[in-house]
Structure 1
Amino acid sequence: MKKKGIIVAAFFGFILLTSTVMISLPGLMTPIDTETTITGTPADNFPDAQRAQFCGSGDAKSTSYVREFTIPTVCTNPLAIVTDFEGNVWFAQTNTGNLAKFDPLTETFTEYENPTWPPNGRSMMWGIDAAPDGSIWYTDETFDSIWKFTPHNEKYQRLTYPSQGDALPQKLKFEGSQVIVNDFTGNKITFLDPTQAEQKDFNYLSIPSPVDDSVTGDFAMDAENNLWYTNWLFQQSGVLVKFDQDGYRETVVDTGEELLPLFDHIEVLALPETMQTPNGVVAGEDGKIWLVDTSSSYFFSFDPDDETFTQYVTSDPPLSSYGNSSGIIKTPISRPYWVETNDMGQIIFNEQTANRMAVMDPKSETLVEYFIPSMNPNWGDCGDMQNCGLAQVFDFTVDGDKIWFTEWVENNIGVVDTSVGLPLDIELESNIMTLQAGESK
């Protein structure tokens, strides 16, 4: 495996803001049994002592590159986010079960109440996408469901996710005429036909994991219609899987057999030992597969032609992101979480415990990191330190030169405007800077 450093340009739009938190795979934490003041708002799902931690610690903020917008309803815990074909921003609220829309032109929110959501119900909703017909689809971890929301009649429809035993439908994407979902703990990738949404039962195809007792992570489709995804054991590395779905379907048609061995159309490649939690995956326009590792500060490219991985590293999280008032944090890490690409072929990912959005240009091998203005001190070792903590940016979506994101514990959404010019130019004699693992310059 090759290791390469990249030039890092870090921009302090307002105050140096970033993070290192003590979690990497957040779920729904059970609130402790303490005094709860009833307010008639979603904040009632948390005891008084935890409301600052989960419901927000301050007002929305802005920098030269980042703007934040406060959601009208308090303590919604926004998570999955996507833009539709008209440029509206949609996001799921884990603490209300509702969808919300933000109009960037009028800068107004519309929140749509889900009448079938159980009182006090909470669910991590990791995946969301806009369908060609304008409907919004998203996943629901707690109730093992996929939801379809139709904006013109404001109708919610719950679709039971096909599962046997433990299941956790996570990321969701429309690819052509199908919906693809990874079942994180159910250990499979599922292909669904969205035209059957009105039917009681879905026809679906599930790809089981080639690694026993592992989890199935994010997925991406390359230019040749191959599906790439990860199977891994927590902090024990895993494999990158390539599924030739066209070859499989052609074989089904040629043989007339509906049930054929899937593994005849699967290629399995071992991940580097330094990649222990490969959450996000995306296919770049150069044909490479990009992966991010949530157990470190590393991200990787994989070249299918020569089957080699190249390892990159982010800059170190600044002290303000984690505080370290106790002195116990010796090696802070940025924890890249999900990864996408934009129209220019750049690689974009969120650095969970550095409170940053990152944009990497594979051609120039430069990395620009945008600091998120809001910080919640309850998610860092902040002590008496001011301007410290995390907003917990757990999801984002790319729309042209804008990167929209949610702040799970600050009750905000935000946007990075990558079209804003940067205050300096970088010129080097060589476009490659070699660094040791974990080193930054």
Structure 2
Amino acid sequence: MKKIGIIVSIFFATIMLTSLAAGVLLNKAPSPTDKPEMTITGTPADNFPDEQRAQFCGSNTAKSTDYIQEFSIPTLCTNPLAIVTDYDGNVWFAQTNTGNVAKFDPVSKTFTEYDNPLWPKGGRSMMWGIDYAPDGSVWFTDETYDSVWKFSTLDEKYDRLSYPSEGNSLPQKLQVDGSQIIINDFTGNKLTFLDPTQSGDDVNYLSIPSPVDNSVTADFALDANNNVWFTNWLFQQGGVLVKFDQNGYLDSVSNSNEKSLPLLDFIEIFQLPVELLTPNGAVVANDGTIWLADTTSSYFFNFDPVTEKFTQYVTSDPLLDTYGNQTGIVKTPISRPYWIETDDQGRIVFNTQTANNISVMDPKSQSIVEYHIPSKNPNWGDCDPGTGMMLADCGLAQVFDFTIDGTKIWFTEWVENNIGVVDTSVQLPLDVQLESNTLTLAPGDSKDFEFIVSPKSQKDLLGISLILSSTRDFLNVDLINNSPESFQLDSNAPRTINTIISASDDAESGTYKILVGAQASDVAVGKFITVTIE
């Protein structure tokens, strides 16, 4: 195996420099000349010095809400990452800090962890991609050793396939697609197609270079015609959305004597909007539109291939207890949508890394539900009030992957050593009704707008804070008549919220989204207003 000299999570240090999480990681990592104290435990925690174990190993205590249940992984400090379910509803996930895959049985609520004898002692790797194949194999990527792994659930054996490394490679997301496996090489700037019947080091791949030089190739998705959609971008410099005619390319190659053909003959390129800087997650919805998650903002986007237009959406702001802000360093908290998928109801699901949420957006009703994950690690937020004692219930669980199984959304908590599940069938405690779904303004104009927050819970009082978020600086939504931003919602008394929506004099003509709604302690409910500026 080829070992690359990187620390766990170097991805954040290089790609997400503005992230508070990355700042904490870099500030707390010991220098090469330090000799940190190491207490040998005989567990994966031994991969970290004592002073970093609370940061990476977490509390190992599972929590729950009315909507989310967490489960503690028996082995300490495994750093669970990529996750998928099989056809029987079992949950499979890869462990950054052990090289193992593990299974969770939701019926018996038991874990089985499968030791990987091929994994080097003390090895660590971010495993971003995983999928379950019809033959009972679990496939996953491994960025440290430039590998693609196969674990047979039938004979419980591992097989390592070397990934084609040409300079700086990072095999990331992975999807089993019929008789092939598709992988995006994030820093190698290519898509790779693999025949899963191969094994060992002598593996043949078909690699498709991306059309934008010196960029990264992020997550991908397939549409109904087998076209592959993915993004190329430069960190905080924007990029393009790419449509690759996979069938056309492969058919042409097979009918010619060439091993490859010019890529530009089989792609379409769409310029990303300037507001979309770091599109990591991508998915094709049931209606053929593409959804992208922007990890350096609170935005997610929809692209319609017919009109070739992007629509920008926004999440609610992260709760204060996710980032703490004891020093006041966080001036504008952002939620960082990361990966994005669609469920069998046509809803869009994504994880927001720094909001500690799993979010479910319904394009038909233009509504969003944001489920707040109860576990938090204070070492990943500004949670120290200056006394050296971390604040309770502050920080992030670092939820880096999820998978959808019917009404359940399973996810991993990378620094809390838990997996968890959102049950989207549980009745929500409140609802939001809009006066109207649309509004038209001229630059410099403003209009009053009402919405109603209605209780559905039997609790006598429900603590509520309002959500008032816009996608553009020149478009604002504000409370009027001295209305409070937070209040107690009576179970028998809906609350009418009076706002004013205004466009500044320099507002650009176009169609935009505003999010209004209500945040309870464990869940938020919002509705999108479509605002047209003439």
- Tell me, yes or no, whether TM beats 0.5: yes
How far apart in 2 are the matches of 1:25 and 1:301? 31
1:256: Cα distance to partner? 4.7
1:204: Cα distance to partner? 2.2
- Indicate the residue corresponding to 2:4 in structure 1: none
Q: How does 1:107-146 map to 2 (within 5 A)?
A: 107-146=109-148
Does the CA-based 8 Å contact 2:24-2:379 persist in structure 1?
A: no
Q: SS in structure 2 opposite 1:315?
A: coil
Q: How does 1:46-195 map to 2 (within 5 A)?
A: 46-57=48-59, 59-195=61-197
- Provide closer, same or farther for how the CA distance between residues 375 and 200 of structure 1 changes in structure 2, counting only shifts above 3 A: closer
- Indicate the residue corresponding to 2:362 in structure 1: 361
User: What does the per-residue CA deviation read over 1:141-179, in whole Å, with 9 as the maximum and x for residues that have no partner?
Assistant: 100000000112110000001221111100000112210
Q: How does 1:241-252 map to 2 (within 5 A)?
A: 241-252=242-253
The letter of the residue matching 2:353 is: Q
1:306: Cα distance to partner? 1.0
Q: How does 1:217-296 map to 2 (within 5 A)?
A: 217-296=218-297
How far apart in 1 are the matches of 2:438 and 2:218? 31
1:31: Cα distance to partner? 5.2
How far apart in 2 are the matches of 1:270 and 1:419? 38
How far apart in 2 are the matches of 1:404 and 1:273? 33
Asked whether 1:212 is paired with 2:213, we answer: yes
1:286: Cα distance to partner? 1.0
How far apart in 1 are the matches of 2:24 and 2:158? 26
User: Which stretch shows the higher mean deviation, 146-155 or 343-352?
Assistant: 146-155
User: What does the per-residue CA deviation read over 1:285-333, in whole Å, with 9 as the maximum and x for residues that have no partner?
Assistant: 0110000000000000000001100000000011111010001111000
- Indicate the residue corresponding to 2:403 in structure 1: 397
Q: SS in structure 1 opposite 2:431?
A: coil
How far apart in 1 are the matches of 2:62 and 2:213? 44
Unaligned runs of 5+ in 2: 1-17, 386-390, 441-469, 477-514, 517-534
Higher strand share: 2
How far apart in 2 are the matches of 1:24 and 1:362? 33
- Indicate the residue corresponding to 1:10 in structure 2: none
How far apart in 2 are the matches of 1:376 and 1:367? 26
Does the CA-based 8 Å contact 2:346-2:362 persist in structure 1?
A: yes
How far apart in 2 are the matches of 1:49 and 1:249? 52
Aligned length: 421
Asked whether 1:437 is paired with 2:472, we answer: yes
- Provide closer, same or farther for how the CA distance between residues 147 and 34 of structure 1 changes in structure 2, counting only shifts above 3 A: same
1:199: Cα distance to partner? 6.0
Q: How does 1:22-41 map to 2 (within 5 A)?
A: 22-23=20-21, 33-41=35-43
How far apart in 2 are the matches of 1:401 and 1:415? 10
How far apart in 2 are the matches of 1:38 and 1:249? 53
1:133: Cα distance to partner? 0.3
Does the CA-based 8 Å contact 1:227-1:243 persist in structure 2?
A: yes
1:100: Cα distance to partner? 0.5
Does the CA-based 8 Å contact 2:160-2:199 persist in structure 1?
A: no
- Indicate the residue corresponding to 1:203 in structure 2: 204
- Provide closer, same or farther for how the CA distance between residues 23 and 209 of structure 1 changes in structure 2, counting only shifts above 3 A: farther
User: What does the per-residue CA deviation read over 1:61-118, in whole Å, with 9 as the maximum and x for residues that have no partner?
Assistant: 0000000000000000000000011111000000011110000000000000001111
- Indicate the residue corresponding to 1:418 in structure 2: 424
How far apart in 1 are the matches of 2:431 and 2:343? 22
1:255: Cα distance to partner? 3.7
How far apart in 2 are the matches of 1:352 and 1:388? 14
How far apart in 2 are the matches of 1:201 and 1:26? 40
Does the CA-based 8 Å contact 2:312-2:471 persist in structure 1?
A: no
Q: SS in structure 1 opposite 2:199?
A: coil
Q: Which has the higher contact order (CA 8 A, sep 6+)?
A: 1
Unaligned runs of 5+ in 1: 1-19
Largest Rg, 1 or 2: 2
TM-score (norm. length: structure 2): 0.76
Pairwise CA RMSD? 2.0
How far apart in 2 are the matches of 1:431 and 1:149? 49
Does the CA-based 8 Å contact 2:60-2:73 persist in structure 1?
A: no
- Indicate the residue corresponding to 1:42 in structure 2: 44
- Provide closer, same or farther for how the CA distance between residues 124 and 263 of structure 1 changes in structure 2, counting only shifts above 3 A: same
1:425: Cα distance to partner? 2.7
How far apart in 2 are the matches of 1:119 and 1:178? 31
